[in-house]
Amino acid sequence: MKLKRETYLEQIRPYYESDVIKVITGVRRAGKSILLDTIKDELQGNGVDEKHIIYINFEDLDFDYIVDASDLNKEIKSRIKDDRKYYIFLDEIQHIDQFEKALASFRATLNVSLFVTGSNSALLSGELATLLTGRTIEFEILPFSFYEMKLYYELIGKEFSEDLFMDYLKWGGFPLRFDYDDEAFVNKYLSNLYESIVNRDIVGRTKSADKKAFMDISLYILANAGKELSIDNIIDTYKKENREISRRTVYNYLERMKKAYLIHGVGRYNIVGKSALSNKEKQYAIDMGFRTINTNTINYEDTFFLENIIYNELITRGFTVFAGKTYKGEIDFVAIRNGKKCFIQVSYLLASEDTIKREFGAYDKITDASPKYVMSLDKIDMSHDGIIHVNIIDFLLRKIDLILT
């Protein structure tokens, strides 16, 4: 059964009739193709004739005769029979050589609304991308949020409770993982998916040594998601094992992970200077399941696991997110949307006076009047001194929205 992902549809609907090219990106198996199906259903429900909807999945062998922009141009034009608007859906378009030329031509010469998907953030980069500058809008699709997990359980008639949060914290939200109840099968599915992404989108047909090195590096990065990445620590670990790896190689693998949507790099924000800082990123995993299969031990009290989920939720809700930098300390997140912002601190439980002082005290030196939040799993509201305490599960289940100024 298909979950109607309203969070994304609300963002895309205003562009259904626009000639701007709708580019839907995201990690493999996050639900991009299902989202396209939902958009097609909505268009037909709004009166669009099925004959004016063209859909091609370039991972379907039925279309392996389309290999470049010229082939794609011929295919689409052969299907257009009149001057009325056509709605064209091109799934996993990165397989088509110089596809940007075809898209630019369609947009300039045909009465069409274009929707394309891809599993690599390099989809619209490089020389050819200049053809589409200013003519595209991108929507990144993530695996199910905890709220969408709840909606999906309700859709398939499965019992949902807030106790499933720990299951979500461990195994994440890839839609197909919910087909399995046994953790061993979930682990197997996610491991196979991760290796498939590595083989298809990152390593490709390069030698096996490259794949092993990449898997080692990606394990380290995912296991340490949320912490400031130390390239030196990776290099030192290799040296202790009498192996060598260059700084350039590590950075190269890091960029490959970003392009395949395995991780997001989160930059720093100078709270005092109110500006983004270009260096020293933190990395967050696109899904908690990928953290789990790449981590030997799971500590549910590890704040970085909770930070990761909150970061992904903020991105899903349309926020731009930074790690906050103060004069002598840090704030976990600066969340910005429509030019307004708030600050967020994340804690597992505010179980002691020292913890409360540490989390709330992080704001002591901040004079910025933007709303300040402390999020934890505590059910009791501990808000004080103008700082708002929020229960993490309530936030994830959309019972609470953030105030921004």
Tell me, what's the pLDDT at 319?
96
The strand pair at 53-57 and 21-25 is best described as: unpaired
The per-residue DSSP string of 86-109 comes to EEEEEETGGGSBTHHHHHHHHHHH
Tell me, what's the pLDDT at 272?
67
Residue pLDDT tens, the chain, 405 long: 899 999 999 999 999 999 999 999 999 999 999 999 999 999 999 999 999 999 999 999 999 999 999 999 999 999 999 999 999 999 999 999 999 999 999 999 999 999 999 988 877 666 657 788 889 999 999 999 999 999 999 999 999 999 999 999 999 999 999 999 999 999 999 999 999 999 888 887 556 658 888 988 898 899 888 888 888 888 888 888 888 899 999 999 999 999 999 999 998 888 765 665 545 689 999 999 999 998 766 666 678 999 999 999 999 999 999 998 876 778 999 999 999 999 999 999 999 999 999 999 999 989 999 999 999 999 999 999 999 999 999 999 999 999 999
Distance CA(95)–CA(216), nearest Å, equals: 28
Distance CA(84)–CA(291), nearest Å, equals: 48
The alpha-helical segments, DSSP class H, found in 156-201 are 165-171, 183-197
The sign of the torsion formed by the CA atoms of 164, 167, 169, 171 equals: negative
- Return the CATH superfamily for domain 6-140: P-loop containing nucleotide triphosphate hydrolases (3.40.50.300)
Query: Is 372:363 a contact under the CB 8 Å cutoff?
Result: yes
How many CA within 13 A on the CB side of residue 313?
26
The alpha-helical segments, DSSP class H, found in 172-281 are 183-197, 208-223, 231-240, 247-259
Query: Is 343:324 a contact under the CB 8 Å cutoff?
Result: yes
Query: Is 225:283 a contact under the CB 8 Å cutoff?
Result: yes
| Rg (the chain; Cα; Å) | 23
Query: Is 287:172 a contact under the CB 8 Å cutoff?
Result: yes
**Nearest CA among 397, 343, 349 for reference residue 376:** 349
Distance CA(254)–CA(94), nearest Å, equals: 20
Query: Is 352:378 a contact under the CB 8 Å cutoff?
Result: no
| Burial class of residue 273 (count of CB atoms within 10 Å of its CB; 0-12, 13-18, 19+) | exposed
Query: Considering the entire predicted model, what is its pTM?
Result: 0.94
Give the contacts of 28 (CB within 8 A, at least 6 positions apart): 119, 193, 196, 197, 200, 201
Distance CA(336)–CA(314), nearest Å, equals: 9
Nearest-5° Cα angle at 145, 179 to 303: 110
Distance CA(377)–CA(394), nearest Å, equals: 9
Tell me, what's the pLDDT at 230?
81
Tell me, what's the pLDDT at 127?
61
Domain limits of the chain?
6-140, 144-405
